[in-house]
Amino acid sequence: DSGVTQTPKHLITATGQRVTLRCSPRSGDLSVYWYQQSLDQGLQFLIHYYNGEERAKGNILERFSAQQFPDLHSELNLSSLELGDSALYFCASSERTSGSKSYEQYFGPGTRLTVT
């Protein structure tokens, strides 16, 4: 157990719908990263938040957005869902953005999204 939690574990929804995925980082971790894992694209970085602020964006679609709240949990919002958005969505957390522990990212169990 990495200490990172994600809810829900599974989500089945229809095309055009909107869903929210939730992530709670390890106690004390200030950074949250979101990744998408699909069979064709592999593991891809979406977005990084540090202590409530967006720090970096990857290949995140405009239909997707995220935020990190004052209690440090993060939510990933996916809207106008398409079949191709079906994937495993992982969040990861790390301690800080400087120092020796800043690089290590610990992944949560993931949310499996199925769009029908």
Partner 1 sequence: GENVEQHPSTLSVQEGDSAVIKCTYSDSASNYFPWYKQELGKRPQLIIDIRSNVGEKKDQRIAVTLNKTAKHFSLHITETQPEDSAVYFCAASTGSNYKLTFGKGTLLTVNP
Query: At its nearest, how many Å lie between partner 1 and the CB of residue 110?
Result: 6
- Give the span between the Cα atoms of 97 and 43, in whole angstroms: 22
End-to-end CA distance of the chain: give it in Å, rounded.
31
Minimum Å gap between C-beta 57 and partner 1 is 9
Residues facing 75 on adjacent strands: 22, 67
Contact criterion met (CB below 8 Å) for 115 and 11? no
Nearer CB in complex with partner 1: 52/109? 109
Which residues contact partner 1 (rule: CB under 8 A)?
A: 2, 31, 33, 35, 42-45, 48, 55-56, 58, 90, 94, 97, 102-110
Q: Of 80 and 97, which has the nearer Cβ to partner 1?
A: 97
